[in-house]
Amino acid sequence: MWQELLQQVQQGNVKVLARTISLIENETQGYQELLRSLPGGPGANIIGITGPPGAGKSTLVDAMIGELLKEDNRVAVLCVDPSSPFNFGALLGDRIRMSEWYTHPNVFIRSLATRGSMGGLSPKIIEIADLLKAAGFDHIIIETVGVGQSEIEIAGLADTTVVVFVPEAGDEIQTMKAGLMEIADIFVINKSDRPGADLFEKNLRLMLAPAFSTHKEIPIIKTIASEKAGIADLMKAIKNHQQDKNNGERKVWLLVEKAWQLLMHKRMKNISKEQIKEMMTKENQDQNFNLYSFIETL
C-alpha cells in the first residue's frame, strides 16, 4: 500500500499527496514504512517565512508564488496555523489570501495545525516536507504561525529563513525581544509604504552592524506585498543565499536539528493528551494533588 502511494506521489498525483499527508499527520499504522522509502538527495530547497503576527506573511507568500510561477516552477506551500485545542484542526485553514492559486496546476497549498507545538510548526512538518521533496516540487515554502517570543524551530528546517517585520514592530529592544534576530538569513520590512519604514530599516541596520564585522551581511528587503512591490528583489536574495558556497556546514546542522526533533517526538510518543487527561481526572480528586509530582510519575 505505502509503496504504491509513494509511487503515485512521485508521479505528481496531487490527490494522493494530500491523502498521504493526512496519513502521516495522523500517524496511520505503517506510515514509517513510507518515510523509510523516501528517496535521499537534496531535493527542493525549503524557504521558511516567519515573523510576528500581522506582519503580512500570507500576503507575502501569495506574491512569492506569483513570482516563482513566472519561471514555470512547481511550488508547494505549507501554512502552519494555530490549532483548535479540542479537535487539533487548523483554525485558519481557509487561507483566503492565497485563493488565487488553489486551482493552479503547478501550486499545492496545505494548511497544517500546530497541535500544541510551541515553536510555530506542526509536529509532523519534517516528515511532510520530505514527502513534498519526493513529489518533485521545485520550491517548498513553509509559513509559520506568528509565534512572537516562542522558540523558533523554522531555522532548523528551512534552507533559507526569511523573517518578516512591519514598520510598527517598534524600537530596537522590542525587535530583539521578538526572538527572531539570530535565525534570519534575510529580513523583510513588509508594508514599507507606511510611515516609519525608513527609520525602522535604519535601526535594524544599526542593530545588526556588530554582527557584520564577523559574518556576511544579512540582506534587508523592503516590500509592499499587497502591491507585489519588492518581491523580485526578495526572490533574488533568496536565490543568492541558496547558491552560497558557505552553506555546507549549515546543511549538516540542519540535518542534526531535524534528527534531534525526530528523536524528541519519538521519545514522547508513548504519552498522549488523552492518557494524561484520564490520569489527571483521577489524581485531581485528591486535595493534595501536585502537578510537578504528577509529571515526575510520567
Q: What are phi and psi of 144, to 5 degrees?
A: -90, 165
Residue 65 in contact with residue 77, Cβ under 8 Å? yes
Bridge partners (DSSP) listed for residue 48: 142, 161
What is the reported pLDDT for 52?
Answer: 79
The C-alpha cell 509532523 sits at 124
Give phi and psi for 210, each to the nearest 5. -60, -35
Please write down the long-range contacts of 289-293, taking CB distance under 8 Å and 24 or more positions apart: none
What was the pLDDT predicted at 153? 66
Report the distance separating Cα 273 and Cα 292, nearest Å. Answer: 16
| 259 contacts: CB under 8 Å, gap ≥ 6 | none
Determine contact, residues 50/154, Cβ cutoff 8 Å: yes
pLDDT of residue 113: 67
Compute mean pLDDT per 10 residues along the chain, 298 residues long, and list them. Answer: 86 90 85 83 84 85 93 90 50 58 87 57 77 91 67 72 83 53 86 90 80 70 94 95 72 72 72 77 74 75
Say which CATH superfamily domain 41-267 falls into: P-loop containing nucleotide triphosphate hydrolases (3.40.50.300)
Task: Give the predicted TM-score (pTM) of the model.
Answer: 0.80
pLDDT of residue 245: 58
| pLDDT for the residue numbered 180 | 60
d(CA 84, CA 257): 27
